[in-house]
Structure 1
Amino acid sequence: MTAEDTDAPVTARRVFALAVPALGVLAAEPLYVLVDTAVVGHLGAVPLAGLALGGTVLSVLTSQLTFLSYGTTARTARLYGAGRRTEAVAEGGQATWLAIFVGLAVLVFGQLFAHPILSALAGNPAVADAAASWLRIAIIGAPAILITLAGNGWMRGIQDTVRPLYYILAGNVLSAIACPLLVYPLGFGLEGSAIANVLAQYTAAGLFLIALRSERSMVRPRWNIMKAQMVLGRDLILRSLSFQICFLSAAAVAARESAAALGAHQIVYQLWVFLSLILDSLAIAAQALIGAELGAERVARARAAAWQITRYSFALGVFLALVFAALAGVLPHVFTNDEAVLAQVPHAWWLFVAQQPVAGIVFALDGVLLGAADTRFLRTTTLACALGAFLPLIWLSWAFGWGLTGIWIGLTMFLVTRMVAVVLRTRSTHWAVAGA
């Protein structure tokens, strides 16, 4: 063990210098969706429903491919930590080629199957037509969306989270200006929203490509590297799929309880997603820092940094829990004035509040293990916790009439069992494999 290996762990300033810009990138997309929704909402119920449905399908398709971001960060950070910055950026170049190829496949798939998929989901021909019209244009941006994911991945790996924030904001500001102009004065209607979406995606993607070109790292495709990235991606896709199945099941069971229960679930779940973005920013910092420390073969510093970031994230989780406990009597009224919905909210609210410190630990250690490329463990434990804890409690809630309380106990148990798994894993030495 070298003297450097026993140095103090990373400072809070370094952690938050990575986390705060990353939070801006994570928050940019939901904020853009809110703007888009507000613009289209004035066209009427059918266009708004079409946007909601088409946007959901596009989001599900692209969210399954976030390995282009998280997996690339893990691989790039190790090379960067080993002092091989040029190779680290070249890894980002290969991830970008993979994003282009996969994005083109998603584009073709979307053009061929958009209407059948949306017709099956909508159950209303007018909504299905509107959604398909929007999606067929918006999905032209699929390669750009994936290039942006890859760009975020390699830049985080070399510990640059500021430039991605500027690139994403440039695209979203352009879209926020173009969307109302295209929808109303220029008369494109709902399709104008999709065109603005594509403009935003290609603006951000173009900036990431320019950054790669300036590094001279957009060389020809290397299939062996892309294959290795896809192996890592397989585990992350399965992990992400387990989340989708559980949350879709939770919404389905809440809907079977009552419309009020589903409305209350939607309010609390969207707040849960919002707080997850805040905690995920620290997880992104953990990925970059842990990968770099392991790449530099500073195992002791990596382990110390892992627990230090976890302490920060736990403290943030406690703070968020206190804030939302204090807002329990006020915040739900911002979202609805329906008394039946408001009566259902407390069944989920206090479990949501209690989850935040646990989520702080889980998100941070997920980031640590992702940074260490320990994706097989994360895949297996997430699937086990989802299928063994969350999913059974969701459907037992339906069978025995436990309502929202049962659903949110299921989510709580999902987080608690994952917390136990990732804490035990991080306490071991199996994840801390040194070298690039």
Structure 2
Amino acid sequence: MQAVDREILRLAVPAFLALVAEPLFLVSDAAIVGHLGTPELAGLGVAAVVLQTVVGLCVFLAYGTTASVARHLGAGDLRSALAQGVDGVWLAVVIGVVATVLGVVLTPTLVGAFDTGSEVADHAETYLAIAFLGTTPLLVMLAATGVLRGLQDTRTPLLVAVVGNGLNIVLNVVLVYGLGLGIAGSAIGSVIAQVISAGWFLVVVVRAARAHDAPLTPDLAGIRAAAHAAVALVVRTLALRACLLVGTYAVTRVGTGDGDVTVATHQVAITLWSFLAFGLDAIAIAAQALTGRALGSGDVAGTRALTRRMIRWGWGSGIVAGVALAAVSPVVGAVFTTDPAVRDLLVPVLLVAALGQPLAGVVFVLDGVLIGAGDGAFLAWAGIIVLVAYAPAALWAATLPHGLVAVWVAMTVVFMGARGVLLTWRARGDRWLVTGAAVAR
């Protein structure tokens, strides 16, 4: 077990630091924009949900690429591993261009779906229309990160994430306050940082491909194969992102006297929850890479042992995250806003979120194991089942007293609980233990 732990830590520690750094794009934006005012923070909250949904739907570019590259690596075919990775990067460019055009055109419609006040909507549209210009770089970063993770390299993504986020913070402060561009400056700073980070990733992947004589030109058959394999993961991600969208919509329906305070509080809470989710996902990243490599080499017994060990790591990291979130809940609101109403309402919401962190740690690990195994079809169906269970629960919770807190209880108990039950049931079976270089099925 010590060797397994070392292998997990070798991948998970850099992945943890990189994953914690990734959401800092929005955490830093929220901290900087929040001091402009509550309407600006609420507007950022709406825009962030839309942007995270669009980018989140394309997370298969990282997850699917990690699994396929790792399997080829386990099978001893590094050239094919890099060729598949390059195909994933080209697919990211194609999807990114389409998403950028559609996103900019549909920004007013997307923001309008949340039915907020006009001032909040104006701020949301301003941020979102600019932020969509960073979609292609973000997707390229996802695909390139997947390539490197599949190659068992989580250190390079860490370095890029740290430098990129540091640049983002500096640009945000200069543009928002130094040049007085307000919320638009925050979006511009983030886009610039994303473009530079994507360029860095491309240099690393291109060098590796050339070193192993892997093709760099677009391979239409390879791109189509990558897109086909991604369909199940898209459905899975769409269902899970839909759950978060339903939760945000439910929050806007909470019957309180000050809707801006409720939405702003939810934005801070979901930002912190996402921050911890990315951190807990570090073990899942290790699970994807190690599971893919083990199954690619035909090692079923090793895959089982890895899974059991990573579940224990999931529990432990979730407990640590929950304790930390509960400890900072009375004071962390001051980082994001000066509004006392938002800061007071935030405390009970964060305490509910803290209680759900141990379960979240296990859910993310099992999700990573099954993604690494290429069990996309099951994950898609599981996502749909979770959405069917959670949507009515969240909408009903919004009608209860203390509606915002009730929505977060539904998120912890129904959303995460249902995922935990389904993923645990699947992991105990054998149907996902398919060996060989092929990942999609």
Q: Secondary structure at the match of 2:23?
A: helix
Displacement of 1:379 in angstroms is 1.1
Matches within 5 A, 1:28-427: 28-41=21-34, 51-119=44-112, 121=114, 128-186=121-179, 188-215=181-208, 216=210, 217=214, 219-255=216-252, 256-258=254-256, 269-324=270-325, 338=340, 342=344, 346=348, 351-388=352-389, 390-398=390-398, 403=403, 404-405=405-406, 408-409=409-410, 411-427=412-428
- Is 271-280 or 348-357 further displaced after alignment? 348-357
Question: CA distance change for structure 1 residues 356 and 113 in 2, over 3 Å: closer, same or farther?
Answer: closer
1:414 and 1:49 map into 2 onto residues whose CA distance is 24
Paired with 1:263 and 1:136, the residues of 2 have a C-alpha distance of 20
Q: Is the 8 A contact 1:94 1:218 kept in 2?
A: no
Could you tell me the TM-score, scaled by structure 1's length? 0.85
1:253 and 1:197, CA in 2 relative to 1: closer, same or farther beyond 3 A?
A: closer
State the secondary structure of the residue aligned to 2:218: coil
Percent identity of the aligned residues?
Answer: 36
1:260-304 Cα shifts (integer Å, max 9, x gaps): 776765565444333322211111110000001111111110111
1:27 corresponds, among 20, 29, 46, to 20
Distance, in Å, in 2 between the alignment partners of 1:350 and 1:122 is 28
Deviations 1:48-107 (A, max 9, x none): 555444444332221211111111111111011111122112211100100111111112
Change beyond 3 A, Cα 1:385–1:66: same
Q: Secondary structure at the match of 2:153?
A: coil
1:241 partner letter:
L
- Partner amino acid, structure 1, of 2:233: L
List alignment gaps of at least 5 residues for structure 1. 1-7
C-alpha distance 48-72 of structure 1, shift in aligned 2 (>3 A):
same
Q: What are the ranges of 5 or more consecutive residues in structure 2 without an aligned counterpart?
A: none
With the length of structure 2 as denominator, give the TM-score of the two structures: 0.85
| Partner SS, residue 11 of structure 1 | helix
- Matching residue's letter, 1:307: R
The change in CA–CA distance for 1:75 and 1:47 in structure 2 (over 3 A counts) is same
Q: Tell me, in whole angstroms, the C-alpha distance in 1 between the residues paired with 2:268 and 2:302.
A: 41
Going from structure 1 to structure 2, the CA distance change for 1:124 and 1:384 (only over 3 Å counts) comes to closer
Shift of 1:169: 2.3
Is the partner of 2:356 in helix, strand or coil?
helix
Q: Judging changes above 3 Å, is the alpha-carbon distance between structure 1 residues 49 and 299 closer, same or farther for their aligned structure 2 residues?
A: same
Alpha-carbon displacement from aligned partner over 1:184-232 (angstroms, at most 9, x marks no partner): 4456554433332222111111111111221224522222222222233
Query: What displacement does 1:153 show?
Result: 0.6
Give the residue type in structure 1 aligned to 2:290: L
Deviates more, 1:150-159 or 1:189-198: 189-198
In 1, the alpha carbon distance for the partners of 2:379 and 2:242 equals 17
Report Cα offsets for 1:300-357 as digits up to 9, x if no partner. 10111111111111122233344555667776788788579747954x5665344333
Query: Given residue 365 of structure 1, which amino acid in structure 2 is its aligned partner?
Result: L
Provide the secondary structure at the position in 1 that maps to 2:358: helix
Q: CA–CA distance in 2 between the matches of 1:398 and 1:189? A: 32
CA contact (8 A) 2:363 2:420 kept: yes
* Structure 2 CA distance for aligned equivalents of residues 115 and 413 of structure 1: 32
Q: Distance in 2 between matches of 1:223 and 1:40?
A: 42
Q: 2 CA distance for matches of 1:371 and 1:184? A: 44
Quick check: 227-236 or 74-83, which moved more?
Answer: 227-236
Alpha-carbon distance in 1 for matches of 2:206, 2:350: 48
Give the stretch that moved more between structures: 364-373 or 326-335: 326-335
1:100-156 superposed Cα distances (whole Å, 9 cap, x missing partner): 111111122123323443455465556555544443433222211110000111111
What is the aligned length?
427
Determine the C-alpha separation between the residues in 2 that align with 1:122 and 1:254. Answer: 12
